[in-house]
Structure formats: C-alpha cells, structure tokens
Homo-oligomer: A and B are copies of this chain.
C-alpha cells in the first residue's frame, strides 16, 4: 500500500501500546499539549474508535462541521483534534467490523483539514490488530512511540508492539515507561506499584531508544478525567518527553533523508 504524504503535515507520529490502560492516550494528549505550548502547530487524531477517550481528556464535546469536502477538526488547548467521540458521543458502543474501521481511519487521515502542522499525533488503539496494521501501512509515519508500564504483563505486550512497528519498517522513536512509581501523598515514600525499571531494560534488550519514565501521579489521572491535562501547567515530565520526541523525530527524518538543510 502506498504511504501518501498528508499535505502540510511535517511529522506524523503514532503513539501505541501492546496493552490497553497503560496511559497511551494520556501520553498522546499531554505530548500534543506540550508541543503546542512550545510553539509547534499540533494535530491530535484519536484512532481508538471503540474507546475514544481523547474528548473526555481534552475536555471538549463538539460536532465537527465540514467546509466543502473537508472536515474541520475541533481546536482545544491549542491542539486540533479529531475523534470518533465527536461523531458518536455518549455511551453507545460502536460494534463495527473491520472494513468500516478502515474507512473511518482513512477519512480521519485524509479528509480532515489538518492544515499546516509540525506534528500530527495519532493515538492508536491498543494492541497489534487490524486497525493498527492498516493505519501504519498506509500512513506516512515519521515514527512511533510505544507506551508501557513496568509490569511484566505490560512489557510482554509492548515487545509485541515493537515487533509490529519493526515488521512494517516504521521507525521507533522510543519506549516510554508510564506509571513507573507512585509517591505516597501522605508520607512521600516511593511505591513501585507496577514494579520498576522494566521499560528501560526492555528498551536496551530490544535496541530501541528509551524516552524516559513518567511517575504514576494521581494529578495526571485527575487532569485527564477533568479535561485539563497536566501538561497545561508546569509538567517537567511531559516537557522533557516532548523535547526527546522532537529530537528523535528529527533524527529519524534525517536518517531517512540524508540531506543537510540549513534553516534561515
């Protein structure tokens, strides 16, 4: 399948995980906001059509309208957003089968007016299934980010996601270890709820870049549940992650196009 570029989009970055519930959407949302806050033009495409949590986390419910044939994304917190949650709000599940999914994902990629964007972040559904495969085979991805927790169960699935990206030759910007540890709000002691260190170790073993660890911080969850992600305020973890992602995106783009461009 051809990987046709999306006009105006400089970097297309997919955020995936083998396992759900590891904080993939939290990372995608806060990464998008961090990039926007540092002056980048950013789009966020919620490709998790069955469980689209981006609208809740971004605190926005709206119905996108079209100008001509082009669907207009919804802007919130400086980020242009498209999500199935805008088109199918409420609690009714989508029980679509594969082909309809492919069609909606292609529409989100091709028919949404993403405009001039430095980054379009795609929040993939968890796992290594149908939607993921179609998307990463047809989208001109700059690179991918894999999110895991330090638990063995999550790492087992993260390794599968890494293999999937490698199989289809999508550069892996790196692995993020989320929910690394919790600082007890009562006694300030550290609790390794989901174990510790497995992310870095897995990155080393599999020879992928380690993008860093993010603590299990109740304020991050509260930010997501309330539609005000922590990256809107001072969030050193996500700021550092955004820098790392920018650096890696430039690196793999440079590797693909070994032409030195001097910016004026």
Q: A187-B187, A192-B218, A218-B193 are in contact. Are A167 and B53 (CB under 8 A)?
A: no
Q: A153-B57, A160-B91 are in contact. Are A186 and B189 (CB under 8 A)?
A: yes
Residues of B within 8 A of A248 (CB): none
The size bracket of the interface on A is: 35 or more
Q: Is A1 an interface residue (CB 8 A)?
A: no
Q: A51-B127, A128-B50 are in contact. Are A152 and B225 (CB under 8 A)?
A: yes
Q: How far, in whole Å, are A191 and B187 apart by their CA atoms in the complex?
A: 11
Q: Is A182 an interface residue (CB 8 A)?
A: yes
Q: Which of B56, B125, B132, B164 contacts A156 (CB 8 A)?
A: B56
Chain B min CB distance to A18 (Å): 6
Residues of B within 8 A of A162 (CB): 91
Q: A182-B193, A191-B182, A221-B193 are in contact. Are A95 and B167 (CB under 8 A)?
A: yes
Residues of B within 8 A of A80 (CB): none
Residue of B whose beta carbon sits closest to that of A189? B186
Q: Which of B91, B129, B160, B185 contacts A191 (CB 8 A)?
A: B185
Inter-subunit contact B95/A129 (CB<8 Å): yes
Residues of B within 8 A of A216 (CB): 193
Chain B min CB distance to A95 (Å): 5
Residue of B whose beta carbon sits closest to that of A224? B153
**Residues 12-55 of chain A, each 1 if its beta carbon lies under 8 Å from chain B, else 0:** 00000011111001000000000000000000000000110100
Chain B min CB distance to A174 (Å): 18
Q: Is A232 an interface residue (CB 8 A)?
A: no
Inter-subunit contact B95/A133 (CB<8 Å): yes
Chain B min CB distance to A16 (Å): 11
**Residues 68-82 of chain A, each 1 if its beta carbon lies under 8 Å from chain B, else 0:** 000000000000000
Given contacts A20-B21, A153-B224, 14 further A-B contacts (CB under 8 A): A19-B21, A19-B53, A50-B128, A53-B157, A92-B160, A93-B128, A95-B128, A95-B164, A98-B98, A125-B127, A182-B191, A184-B186, A184-B189, A195-B225
